């Protein structure tokens, strides 16, 4: 418990308008207001790190989805690492670090009972608390759960993953290597491609922007593809589809190439090609949202914690300085400007 300190001003970024196509800075507005006052059971949080994630593009639209949209003039949603600055909850004290859904703002109220992940620095194995937003948080769990429940890579199989320098893809590839699979990673540009091969130890790394990409993928998968962890869609999926083996598994995790689509793509309708291949090759194509598998979370924390402590799983962070730069940070993320897990250092 501590006294309420109302000298703080909350800086927050709200959704000013809905994007048509790719988001622009005009879709966001920065505002200032007094920090809120906690009531019994609540805590006042100061944001240390804000996670920027591809799903935020979806929340800016009002199309029906698995989660409700952000309303106009509402604070943008987002997961944070936050510090308790004032507590009216017996289990939390000023100075505690927690993960929270505080959104794009410097201060937020939370019900203490909902803050179930306290970040004890020894548990983070010397890593920055921001890893609780990346490899040791939701994106890392997405990789872990999607492979555990759907992808199920086996020794000797070939797994392909794109957006492979990001927190989901990099973790997918490394876990698949631990399971004995041969891993082909796909990313944009030479620097990311070199990182996948030289730092993460992927067997082959390809640049999806290379004009010869489809031929390179075919050459990289002489025995076909057993697991395609789908993060992107678009031309990458077109190149993968003919290479899928009988009984291949396709965890459909994300389709970032399509998040800003305003219409269906022009061209021939190839839906029947897809459904025929699903039948003839007995493919498993399953969409998932990581929280569908939340029962695995304690197991993930244990196993990933050990991997991080032992340096078995590597990760990279891409830090944007200052909340005011979050809009440009998200706009850039959707175009592949990030190299590793993108977080905003807020305070
Ligand atoms: N289902 C779930 O519960 C769940 C949870 C978390 C994330 N996801 C999804 O998982 C995917 C990866 O998320 P993340 O947080 O790890 O993101 P990330 O890799 O940090 O960022 C997205 C990356 O996507 C790549 N990209 C963007 N447009 C592309 C395109 N047209 N074709 C190919 N690649 C493109 C870019 O990398 P390059 O430079 O390599 O092109 C960009 O850096 C996203 O689709 C996300 O929505 C799903």
In CATH terms, the superfamily for domain 9-134+317-345 is Medium-chain alcohol dehydrogenases, catalytic domain (3.90.180.10)
Our answer on whether the CB atom of 217 is closer than 6 Å to any ligand 1 atom is no
Closest residue by CA, ligand 1 atom 15: 53
- 176 CA from centroid of ligand 1 (Å): 18
- For CATH 3.40.50.720, list the domain ranges present in the chain: 140-291
Our answer on whether the CB atom of 339 is closer than 6 Å to any ligand 1 atom is no
- 98 CA from centroid of ligand 1 (Å): 25
Our answer on whether the CB atom of 171 is closer than 6 Å to any ligand 1 atom is no
In CATH terms, the superfamily for domain 140-291 is NAD(P)-binding Rossmann-like Domain (3.40.50.720)
* Cβ neighbours of residue 298 closer than 8 Å, sequence gap 6 or more: none
Q: Which of 21, 22, 54 to mutate to test the pocket of ligand 1 (most atoms within 8 A of CB)?
A: 54
Residue 122 has a pLDDT of: 67
The answer to whether 338 and 264 have CB atoms below 8 angstroms apart is no
pLDDT, one tens digit per residue, over 302-346 is: 999 999 999 999 999 999 999 999 999 999 999 999 999 999 999
Among 132, 144, 112, which Cα is nearest to 48's?
Answer: 132
Element at 279 (helix H, strand E): helix 271-280
- 191 CA from centroid of ligand 1 (Å): 17
- For CATH 3.90.180.10, list the domain ranges present in the chain: 9-134+317-345
Closest residue by CA, ligand 1 atom 30: 257
Burial class (CB in 10 A: 0-12, 13-18, 19+), 108: buried
Atom of ligand 1 nearest to the CA of 340: 20
- 290 CA from centroid of ligand 1 (Å): 14
- 236 CA from centroid of ligand 1 (Å): 12
pLDDT, one tens digit per residue, over 163-196 is: 999 999 999 999 999 999 999 999 999 999 999 9
pLDDT less than 50: residues of the chain: 1-5
């Amino acid at each position: 418990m501590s006294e309420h300190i109302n000298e703080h001003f909350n800086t927050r970024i709200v959704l000013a308008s809905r994007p048509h196509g790719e988001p622009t800075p005009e879709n966001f507005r920065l505002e200032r207001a007094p920090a809120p006052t906690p009531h019994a059971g609540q805590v006042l949080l100061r944001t240390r790190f804000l996670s920027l994630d591809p799903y935020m593009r979806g929340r800016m639209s009002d199309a029906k989805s698995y989660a409700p949209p952000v309303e106009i003039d509402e604070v943008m949603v987002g997961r944070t690492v936050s510090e308790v600055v004032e507590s009216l909850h017996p289990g939390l004290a000023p100075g505690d670090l927690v993960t929270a859904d505080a959104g794009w703002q410097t201060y937020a109220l939370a019900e203490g009972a909902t803050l179930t992940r306290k970040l004890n620095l020894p548990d983070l194995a010397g890593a920055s608390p921001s890893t609780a937003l990346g490899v040791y948080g939701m994106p890392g769990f997405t990789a872990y759960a999607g492979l555990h429940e759907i992808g199920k890579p086996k020794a000797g199989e070939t797994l392909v993953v794109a957006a492979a320098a990001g927190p989901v893809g990099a973790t997918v590839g490394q876990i698949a290597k631990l399971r004995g699979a041969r891993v082909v990673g796909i990313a944009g540009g030479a620097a990311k491609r070199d990182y996948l091969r030289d730092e993460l130890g992927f067997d082959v790394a390809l640049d999806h922007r290379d004009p010869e990409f489809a031929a390179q993928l075919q050459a990289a998968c002489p025995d076909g593809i057993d697991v395609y962890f789908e993060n992107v869609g678009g031309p990458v999926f077109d190149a993968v589809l003919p290479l899928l083996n009988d009984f291949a598994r396709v965890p459909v995790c994300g389709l970032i190439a399509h998040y800003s689509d305003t219409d269906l793509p022009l061209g021939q309708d190839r839906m029947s090609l897809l459904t025929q291949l699903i039948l003839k090759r007995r493919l498993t194509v399953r969409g998932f949202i990581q929280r569908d598998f939340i029962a695995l979370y304690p197991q993930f924390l244990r196993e990933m914690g050990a991997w991080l402590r032992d340096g078995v799983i590597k990760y990279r962070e891409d830090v944007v300085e200052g909340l005011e730069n979050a809009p440009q940070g998200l706009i850039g993320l959707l175009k592949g400007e990030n190299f590793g897990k993108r977080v905003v250092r807020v305070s």
